[in-house]
Chain A
Amino acid sequence: MPVTSAENTFSAYRSSRFHFLERLKSGWLVYRENLLGRIGLVLLACFACMAAGSFIPPLIDPIYHPMSGVDPLISYSTGPSLRHWLGTDFIGRDIFSQLLTGARIAFIVGVSSAFMSIVVGTIVGMVAGYAGGTTDTILMRAADVVMVMPTLLVILILAALFGQLSIWIIVLLIALFRWPAVARVIRSQTLSLKRRPFVDAARVTGASCFRIIFRHIMPNVLPLALLYMTFRVTSAILIEAALAFLGFGDPGTVSWGMMLQWVWKTGHMFQAPYWLLPPGICISLITLSFYMVGRAMDEVLDPRLRKEKALE
Chain B
Amino acid sequence: MTLLDVSNLSIGYRLRDRLIKAVDSVSFSLEPGKTLGFVGESGSGKTTIGMSLLRLLPENASVLSGSIRFEGRDVYSLSDESLRAIRWKKIAMIFQAAMNALNPVQRINEQVAEALLIHHPKMSKRDALARTAQLFESVGIPENRHADYPHQYSGGMKQRAIIAMALICQPLLLIADEPTTALDVIVQGQILKVIRAIQQEMAIAMIFISHDISVVADVCHDIAVMYGGRIIEAGQRSEILETPAHPYTRMLLASNLTLSDHSFDMPTVHQSRKANIRHLGSTKENDMCPFVCHCRQITDHCQATPQKWMVLSSSHRVFCNNIAGDLTK
Direct interface between A and B, CB < 8 A: yes
Q: Interface on A for B, CB 8 Å cutoff?
A: 29, 308-312
A residues in contact with B60, CB < 8 Å? 308-309
Partner of B277, one of A29, A308, A311: A311
Distance between Cα atoms of A311 and B16 in the complex (Å):
11
- Which residues of A sit under 8 angstroms from B42, Cβ to Cβ? 312
Q: Which of B4-49 contact A (CB under 8 A)?
A: 13-16, 20, 22, 42-43, 47
Q: In chain A, what residue has the closest Cβ to B47? A: A312
User: Shortest Cβ distance from A23 into chain B, in angstroms?
Assistant: 15
B58 contacts the other chain (CB 8 A): yes
A307 CB → nearest B CB, Å: 9
Enumerate B159-207 residues with CB–CB distance to A below 8 Å: none
Determine if B16 and A309 form an interchain contact, defined as CB atoms under 8 angstroms apart: no
> Which residues on B are within 8 Å of A, measured CB to CB?
13-16, 20, 22, 42-43, 47, 58-60, 277
Complex: how many Å from CA A310 to CA B59?
Answer: 11
Residue of A nearest to B59 (CB): A309
Contact present for A310 and B15 (CB under 8 Å) = yes
List of B residues within 8 angstroms of A311 by Cβ:
13, 15, 20, 22, 43, 277
Instruction: Compute how far the CA of A311 lies from the CA of B14 in the bound complex, rounded to whole angstroms.
Output: 9
CA distance A312 to B57 in the complex (A): 13
Q: Can you list 15 A-B pairs with a CB-CB distance of less than 8 A?
A: A29-B16, A308-B15, A308-B16, A309-B13, A309-B58, A309-B59, A310-B15, A311-B13, A311-B15, A311-B20, A311-B43, A311-B277, A312-B42, A312-B43, A312-B47
Main secondary structure of the interface of A (DSSP, over half): loop
Q: Cα distance A310–B277 when bound, in Å?
A: 13
B203 to chain A, nearest CB (A): 33
CA separation between A309 and B15, bound complex, in Å? 7
A309-B58, A312-B47 are known; give 5 further A-B pairs, CB within 8 A: A308-B14, A311-B15, A311-B20, A311-B22, A311-B43
| Nearest 4 pairs of A and B residues by beta carbon | A311-B13, A311-B20, A309-B60, A308-B16
Taking the closest CB of chain B, its distance from the CB of A308, in whole angstroms, is 6
Report Cα–Cα, A191/B300, bound state, in Å: 54
A309 / chain B contacts, CB cutoff of 8 Å: 13, 58-60
CA distance A29 to B22 in the complex (A): 24
Report the Cα distance A91→B273, complex, angstroms.
Answer: 75
B42 (CB) vs chain A CBs: closest residue: A312
Q: Considering the chains assembled together, what is the distance between the CA atoms of A310 and B22 in angstroms?
A: 12
B96 to chain A, nearest CB (A): 11
CA distance A29 to B13 in the complex (A): 19
Nearest opposing residue in chain A for B43, CB measure: A312
Whole-angstrom CA separation of A29 from B42 in the bound complex? 28
In the complex, A29 Cα to B43 Cα: how many Å?
A: 26
Residue of B nearest to A310 (CB): B15
Chain A neighbourhood of B16, CB < 8 A: 29, 308
A306 nearest CB neighbor, chain B only: B16
Residues of the B chain whose Cβ atoms lie less than 8 Å from the Cβ of A29: 16
Closest A residue to B16 by beta carbon equals: A308
- Measured between beta carbons, the chain A residues less than 8 angstroms from B47 are 312
A288–B59 Cα gap in the complex (Å)? 33
Residues of A within 8 A of B58 (CB): 309
Determine the chain B residues whose CB is within 8 A of the CB of A308 once the complex forms: 14-16, 60
Question: Which chain B residues lie closer than 8 Å to A310 at the CB level?
Answer: 15
Q: For the complex formed, measure the closest distance between the CB of A85 and the CB atoms of chain B, giving whole angstroms.
A: 45
**Bound Cα distance from A310 to B13, whole angstroms:** 8
Closest partner residue, chain B, to A312 (CB atom): B43
> Which of A308, A311, A312: most chain B CB closer than 10 A?
A311
**For the complex, what is the distance from the CA of A309 to the CA of B51, rounded to whole Å?**
16
Which one of B13, B16, B47 has the highest number of Cβ atoms from chain A below 10 Å of its Cβ?
B16
* Chain B residue contacts of A312, Cβ below 8 A: 42-43, 47
Neighbouring A residues of B22 by C-beta, 8 Å: 311
A12 to B306, CA, bound (A): 39
B15 surroundings in chain A (CB, below 8 A)? 308, 310-311
A312 CA to B46 CA, complexed, in Å: 12
How far in angstroms is the closest Cβ of chain B from A287? 32
Residues of A within 8 A of B14 (CB): 308
CB distance from B271 to the nearest CB of A (A): 14
Name the CB-closest residue of B to A311.
Answer: B13
Query: Measured between C-beta atoms, what is the minimum distance from A201 to chain B in Å?
Result: 23
